[in-house]
Amino acid sequence: MPTGVRSSVAERYSYKVDVLGSNPSGRTYMKGKTVLAVGAHPDDMDFGASGTIARWVSEGATCYYLICTDGSRGSSDPQMTHKRLAEIRNEEQKKAAKVLGVKKVFFLNHTDTQLVADLVLKEEIVRVIRKLRPNTVITMDPTFYYTTEMIGFDSGFVNHTDHRAAALATMDSCFPLARDRLTFPEHEKEGLKPHRVEELFFVGFEKKDFIVDITKTFEKKIKALSLHKSQFDNFKEVEKRVTLRAKFWGKLKGYKFGENYTRIKLP
Ligand SMILES: [Zn+2]
Q: What is the pTM of this model?
A: 0.89
Q: Is the pLDDT of residue 17 over 60?
A: no
- Is 2 a member of any domain? no
CB-based neighbours (< 5 A) of ligand 1, an ion: 41, 44
CA of 224 to the centre of ligand 1 (A): 15
Instruction: Note whether residue 11 is domain-resident.
Output: no
Assigned domain for 26 exists: no
**Under a CB-based contact definition with an 8 Å cutoff, are residues 151 and 251 in contact?**
no
pLDDT in tens, 231-240: 999 999 999 9
- Over the chain, what is the mean pLDDT? 89
Q: Quote the ligand 1 centre to 44 CA distance (angstroms).
A: 5
- What is the CB neighbour count within 10 angstroms for residue 64? 21
Is 12 a member of any domain? no
Under the banding of pLDDT at 50, 70 and 90, the label for residue 28 is low
Q: Is residue 19 part of a domain?
A: no
Query: Which of the two residues, 27 and 188, has the higher pLDDT score?
Result: 188
The total number of residues written for the chain in this structure? 267
- Mean predicted confidence (pLDDT) in 245-264: 93
Distance between Cα 43 and ligand 1 center (Å): 7
- Where does the pLDDT of residue 22 fall: very low under 50, low under 70, confident under 90, or very high at 90 and above? very low
For 146-188, what is each residue's pLDDT tens digit?
Answer: 999 888 778 899 999 999 999 999 999 999 999 999 999 999 9
Is residue 159, in this structure, part of any structural domain at all? yes
Mapping DSSP to helix (H, G, I), strand (E, B) and coil, where does residue 266 land? coil
**pLDDT band of 207, cuts 50, 70, 90:** confident
Percent of the chain at pLDDT exceeding 70:
90
Decide if 258 is inside a domain. Answer: yes
Q: How confident is the model at residue 14 (pLDDT cuts 50, 70, 90)?
A: very low
Residue 205 has pLDDT above 90, yes or no: no
Q: Is residue 229 in some structural domain?
A: yes
Ligand 1 geometric centre to CA of 237 (Å): 18
Mean pLDDT calculated for residue range 96-116: 97
Instruction: Give the torsion through C-alpha atoms of 94, 96, 102, 103, to 10 deg.
Output: 30
- Ligand 1 centroid distance, CA of 40 (Å): 6
pLDDT category at 24 given cuts 50, 70, 90 is very low
Q: What is the DSSP string of 92-109?
A: HHHHHHHHHT-SEEEEEE
The count of domains in the chain is 1
Question: For residue range 34-43, what is the model confidence (pLDDT) as tens digits?
Answer: 999 999 999 9
CB 51 within 8 A of CB 224: no
Please give the residue range of the domain that contains residue 216.
32-265
Rounded to an integer, the average pLDDT of 193-199 is 96
> CATH no. for residue 144?
3.40.50.10320
Distances (CA, A) of 241 to 218, 222, 247, 249: 13, 11, 10, 13
